[in-house]
Amino acid sequence: MDQRISITDLKAKKKRGEKVVMMTCYDYPSARLLEAAGVDILFIGDTLGMVVLGYDTTVPVTMEEMLHHTKAVVRGSSRAHVLADMPFMSYQTSPEDALRNAGRLLKEGGAQSVKLEGGVRVAETVRFIVDAGIPVMGHIGLTPQSINQLGGYKVQGKTPAAAVRLINDALALELAGAYAVVLECVPAPLAQTISDRLAIPTIGIGAGPHCDGQVQVFHDLLGLFDDFVPKHAKRYAELGSEIREAVRAYAGEVRSGRFPTEKESFGADKPVFSEAARIA
């Protein structure tokens, strides 16, 4: 069995000036494809609630749903680091609940680390989880689980006071033992400042080119989700339209009788069926 990328490997990448490649991943076939393409971190994000399960936000996602998808990604990979999101209310109630749920994502799900949202306010919870032997990635800036409090998907840290709060959040997470921090929808100059201040990697999403790595949502990058396309997402393919055309072609051939042909059918010696028809 291949050795998976560890948090030590990820932190070493920053020291060497190598960028970390991270993508969301929610199932077995996607895990196989992304790992073969060289992705470092397969991230089972709670975004699966929106792009896979059809929820309006990430808030309704449950631990059971996260475990289900994490197991599938683990089965589809052997080299990439597998990171699982802690869903809303799986860590906010108490450090003990947070540790219990983080442990489930490793013990039952098979992940190598977990991610949770927040800075200074969750630092002690992060420390509690890390002290138990579970690696934690932080997440600051736009925190989607707090969407009802933030009032929408907005860039964070645009004022001096807000920027200082984000810097302090990042430093608090590093001090608490987080091995990396996601910076989401943060002005690029601020993200660069935070990246320079931290010894641990920063993973940007809508945070400019100066982070130590980047993460994107699988469905955004490949053109599979059209309900909402964020500014930070670059389309590297339009698989949604290709899938529609392929299925439309299949449906047309079925209705016209052009599929299946003899090529897609199984034959047998005629005497076998003649005898079967006689007996029947």
Catalytic residue among 65, 117, 174, 184: 184
Q: How many contiguous H segments (helices) and E segments (strands) does the chain have?
A: 12, 8
Helix (H, G, I), strand (E, B) or coil at 137: strand
Q: Residue 232 to residues 44, 188, 227, 264: CA-CA distances in angstroms? A: 19, 12, 15, 44
Active site residue 242: no
Burial class (CB in 10 A: 0-12, 13-18, 19+), 232: middle
CA dihedral 158, 164, 169, 175 (to 10 degrees): 150
Contact partners, residue 147, CB within 8 Å, separation at least 6: 57, 58, 59, 153
Helix (H, G, I), strand (E, B) or coil at 266: coil
What are 92's two structure tokens?
A: 């906010």
* Cβ pair 171, 162 in contact under 8 A: no
Q: CA 195, CA 237: separation in Å to the nearest integer?
A: 30
Active site residues: 184
